[in-house]
């Protein structure tokens, strides 16, 4: 049937109906990101913000209200973006790799969305070939083994099915699936994850991304997902990351994962972070413009926050004038083997608390108001 054969009254009714429906939740999410990018006010994000903080943990304590937040306690509002990780969902665990109860994570995601925030999901999944963890790079055959025809293909599709089911279960109180920034296969320009450079070929990486997209977005029709790709920061030839890019139809956001080095003395690490972050973000910004994508700083931070002016004197100049839509700092946990230093967001009584408050008050980043 051609358009000429459609009854004009039906057509008009349809158009009026579509106009009345307004934006979809996914379109609203994209619009919020576009807007933040154009205004030059990135949305502030924190990994696991509602799940645990410097001195508390909802999975382990009786208070499961999901009201606590280190960002709220120091900056006066929840972060705009809540990051959560799906690692271990694939092996049917009740808890993710960092100890979060998956049911509580679902509640946190929905609650954050209903407060007006945006949720992003990463996936530090285990190694499907060796049985090791996400950092097990002992074999360069892992990606090959899960692609169609590979010995672990069916097994891995079972993992993806669990991820699809969980994503499908993230629904608001009206029963609508909540929009999500999905950020799989991240930091693929580094060599520390089994999908990284040197461990699989560019072709295999791109095929892995497309297989993931085709299953989740096409076969399972999870059309509420916004797809983000995150190369890791590198000092030179950052442009080579582009060979590990599946194509414009599979990606909405290009983001950088880049941290301030803790293995260098502070007087070297801080300026290096500013220089490197700017270099990579400017390169990504050119790419984003050419390809019509949204730019973000998808992971960042300085472990331990041992510099008390980190926010206004280091992070702010690292991103000044670059149209990132959001930035996300990593998690605040004391459960690391090497001790209590794995903190990236401010916490009450922490060294950079005052500076964070100043950064928020300056209006240069946006919390959930
Ligand atoms: C890493 C560290 C790990 C954690 C992983 C996934 O950067 O924080 O401890 O398991 O992210 O959240």
Tens-binned pLDDT, residue by residue, of the chain (369 aa): 444 556 766 666 665 665 556 799 999 999 999 999 999 999 999 999 999 999 999 999 999 999 999 999 999 999 999 999 999 999 999 999 999 999 999 999 999 999 999 999 999 999 999 999 999 999 999 999 999 999 999 999 999 999 999 999 999 999 999 999 999 999 999 999 999 999 999 999 999 999 999 999 999 999 999 999 999 998 677 888 999 999 999 999 999 999 999 999 999 999 999 999 999 999 999 999 999 999 999 999 999 999 999 999 999 999 999 999 999 999 999 888 766 689 999 999 999 999 999 999 999 999 998
Closest residue by Cα to atom 10, ligand 1, is 98
- pLDDT, position 237: 79
Contact 174/114 with Cβ under 8 angstroms?
no
Atom of ligand 1 nearest to the CA of 87: 6
Q: Is 366 within the bounds of a domain? A: no
pLDDT at 341: 87
Tell me how far the alpha carbon of residue 124 lies from the centroid of ligand 1, in angstroms: 8
Q: 48 lies in a domain?
A: yes
Please state whether beta strands 56-57 and 52-53 pair in parallel, antiparallel, or not at all (unpaired). antiparallel
Residue 128 structure tokens = 């499907």
Q: What is the per-residue pLDDT for 201? A: 97
Between the CA of 330 and the centroid of ligand 1 the distance, in Å, is 8
pLDDT of residue 2: 47
Report the nearest atom of ligand 1 relative to the CA of 47.
Answer: 12
Gap from CA of 53 to ligand 1 centroid (Å)? 14
The residue whose CA has the least distance to atom 8 of ligand 1 is 331
Query: Does residue 188 lie within any of the structural domains?
Result: yes
- Is 3 a domain residue? no
Q: Show the domain range for 97.
A: 24-361
d(CA 263, CA 286): 30
Could you give the number of structural domains in the chain? 1
The CA distance from 150 to 148, in Å, is 6
Establish if 149 belongs to a structural domain. yes
**What's the Cα-to-Cα distance from 126 to each of 67, 154, 157, 251, 317, rounded to whole Å?**
31, 16, 14, 23, 36
C-alpha of residue 134 to centroid of ligand 1, in Å? 10
Q: Which of 82, 102, 124, 186 to mutate to test the pocket of ligand 1 (most atoms within 8 A of CB)?
A: 124
Return the ligand 1 atom nearest residue 98 CA.
10
- Is 16 among the domain residues? no
What CATH number should be reported for the domain holding residue 105?
3.20.20.80
Q: Taken in order 27, 33, 34, 36, is the CA torsion positive or negative? A: positive
CA of 95 from ligand 1 middle (Å) equals 14
Q: Which atom of ligand 1 is nearest to the CA of 48?
A: 12
| CA-closest residue to ligand 1 atom 4 | 98
Q: Which atom of ligand 1 is nearest to the CA of 85?
A: 12
Q: Is residue 18 part of a domain?
A: no
* Ligand 1 pocket, Cβ-based, cut-off 6 angstroms: 85, 87, 97-98, 124, 330-331
Predicted TM-score (pTM) of this structure: 0.94
Q: Which atom of ligand 1 is nearest to the CA of 124?
A: 6
Is 367 inside any structural domain? Answer: no
């Amino acid at each position: 049937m051609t358009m000429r054969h459609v009854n004009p009254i039906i057509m008009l009714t349809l158009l009026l109906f579509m106009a009345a429906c307004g934006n979809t939740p996914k379109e609203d999410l994209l619009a919020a990101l576009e807007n933040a990018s154009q205004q030059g006010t990135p949305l502030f994000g924190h990994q696991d913000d509602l799940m645990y903080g410097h001195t508390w943990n909802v999975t382990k304590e009786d208070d499961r209200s999901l009201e606590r937040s280190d960002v709220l306690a120091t900056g006066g509002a929840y972060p705009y973006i809540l990051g959560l990780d799906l690692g271990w969902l694939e092996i049917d665990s009740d808890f993710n790799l960092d100890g979060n109860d998956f049911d509580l994570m679902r509640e946190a995601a929905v609650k954050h969305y209903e407060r007006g925030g945006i949720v992003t999901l990463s996936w530090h999944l285990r190694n499907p070939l060796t049985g090791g963890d996400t950092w097990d790079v002992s074999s360069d055959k892992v990606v090959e083994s899960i692609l169609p025809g590979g010995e672990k293909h069916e097994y891995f599709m079972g993992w993806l099915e669990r991820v699809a089911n969980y994503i499908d279960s993230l629904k608001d109180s009206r029963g609508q699936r909540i929009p999500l920034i999905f950020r799989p296969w991240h930091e693929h320009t580094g060599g520390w994850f089994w999908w990284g450079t040197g461990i699989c070929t560019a072709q295999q990486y791109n095929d892995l991304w497309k297989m993931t997209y085709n299953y989740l977005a096409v076969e399972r029709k999870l059309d509420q997902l916004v797809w983000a790709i995150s190369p890791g920061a590198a000092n030179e030839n950052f442009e080579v990351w582009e060979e590990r890019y599946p194509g414009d139809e599979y990606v909405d956001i290009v983001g950088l994962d880049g941290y301030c080095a803790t293995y260098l003395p502070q007087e070297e690490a801080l300026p290096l972070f500013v220089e490197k972050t700017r270099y990579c973000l400017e390169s990504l910004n050119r790419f984003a413009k050419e390809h019509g994508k949204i730019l973000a700083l998808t992971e960042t931070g300085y472990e331990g926050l041992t510099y008390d002016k980190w926010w206004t004197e280091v992070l702010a100049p690292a991103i000044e004038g670059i149209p990132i839509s959001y930035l996300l700092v990593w998690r605040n946990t004391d459960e690391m083997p090497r001790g209590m230093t794995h903190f990236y967001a401010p916490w009450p009584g922490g060294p950079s608390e005052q500076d964070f408050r100043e950064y928020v008050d300056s209006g240069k980043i946006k919390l959930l108001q």
